[in-house]
Amino acid sequence: MDAVSQAQECWEQQADGEAQLRARLRTVPSSFWRRVRQATRQRHQEQLNRFRFRHWPLESLAALEMCWEQTSGTGVLPP
């Protein structure tokens, strides 16, 4: 069981736990949620890239070469 599931169960076991949790979450600034979401997406993309390279190395290298060919001469590095 992961930490999120354990925390969720803890809130569910308390009387009026869900309402308390929702009230507490409303105090978290939206900028924080955006930063966490962006970081999570970046980590997921990195994991996906590693998975693809591990399972399909030739295709991954070909895709990288195409990306570099498209950006060569532009003076701009790919994102």
Instruction: Per-residue pLDDT tens, the chain, 79 aa: give them.
Output: 676 677 677 777 888 888 888 898 899 999 999 999 999 999 999 999 999 999 999 999 999 898 888 887 665 665 6
Pick left, alpha or beta for residue 16 (phi over 0 → left; psi -120 to 50 → alpha; otherwise beta).
left
Alpha carbons 8 and 10: distance in angstroms, whole number:
5
Global pTM reads 0.59
Question: Cα–Cα distance between 39 and 47 in angstroms, integer?
Answer: 12
